[in-house]
Chain A
Amino acid sequence: TQLLEQSPQFLSIQEGENLTVYCNSSSVFSSLQWYRQEPGEGPVLLVTVVTGGEVKKLKRLTFQFGDARKDSSLHITAAQPGDTGLYLCAGVSGSNYQLIWGAGTKLIIKP
């Protein structure tokens, strides 16, 4: 069974601080997606990383795919209250292209 472990599960920090969320697996993924979900809403796709070692930036968010395509990280610089939400990673698995989901990181940014 393929697993995608996300850490930390919960993070509460002050506005202006930096943070990193991790997704780790023993399995190789063909690509990995990051989503953000706000309360009462569906997840929204932030980015897809495809190539090992790939780095993508979305304003203050930096996404990295591990060289071996088994892990990924999301780094937020100078976090703002608007970044509050549940961050989910999902890896695309094997020949059936099914998404393997992490359990999510609940992020709270305090003003």
Chain B
Amino acid sequence: DSGVTQTPKHLITATGQRVTLRCSPRSGDLSVYWYQQSLDQGLQFLIQYYNGEERAKGNILERFSAQQFPDLHSELNLSSLELGDSALYFCASSVGVKGDGYTFGSGTRLTVV
């Protein structure tokens, strides 16, 4: 157990639908990162939050949004889902923002049918 909790582990939904992925960071970590990983591909950075504020944005689609709550958990909202959104979505956390090592959750596997 890495200390980063992601729910749900698996999600199957239809095109056009909206889903919410949830992440609880490791205790003491203030930064949360969201990544997308498609089959046999590397990690694509989506967005970073630090202590409730958006800190950096990567290749996040306009159909996707995220937030970090006062208790530091984070949610990634994916809407108007397309087949191509099927992927593993990982959350990671770190203590600060200076590129210290990330602790990853075990991911949410999203399948859009």
Which residues from chain A sit less than 8 Å from chain B, CB to CB? Answer: 30-31, 33, 40-45, 48, 88, 92-93, 96-99, 101-104, 106
Contacts and interface: CB of A to CB of B under 8 A. Distances in A.
Contacts of B101: 33, 45, 48
A58 B41 CA distance: 26
Interface in B76-113: 90, 92, 97-107, 109
Contacts of B105: 42
A96 B56 CA distance: 9
Q: Is the interface of B mostly helix, strand, loop or mixed?
A: loop
Given A88-B43, A101-B43, A103-B41, A42 B92 contact: yes
A88 B100 CA distance: 16
Contact of A40 (B56, B92, B103, B107): B107
A40 B106 contact: yes
Contacts of B106: 40-42
A98 B99 contact: yes
Interface of B: 2, 4, 40-43, 45, 56, 90, 92, 97-107, 109
Contact of B104 (A44, A92, A104): A44
A54 to B, nearest CB: 15
Contacts of A41: 106-107
Contacts of A99: 45, 99, 102
B112 to A, nearest CB: 18
Given A98-B56, A98-B99, A99-B99, A42 B42 contact: no
Nearest to B90: A42
A41 B41 CA distance: 14
B87 to A, nearest CB: 13
Given A42-B106, A97-B98, 12 more contacts: A31-B99, A33-B102, A41-B106, A41-B107, A42-B104, A43-B102, A43-B104, A88-B42, A88-B43, A92-B99, A98-B45, A99-B99
B97 A97 contact: yes
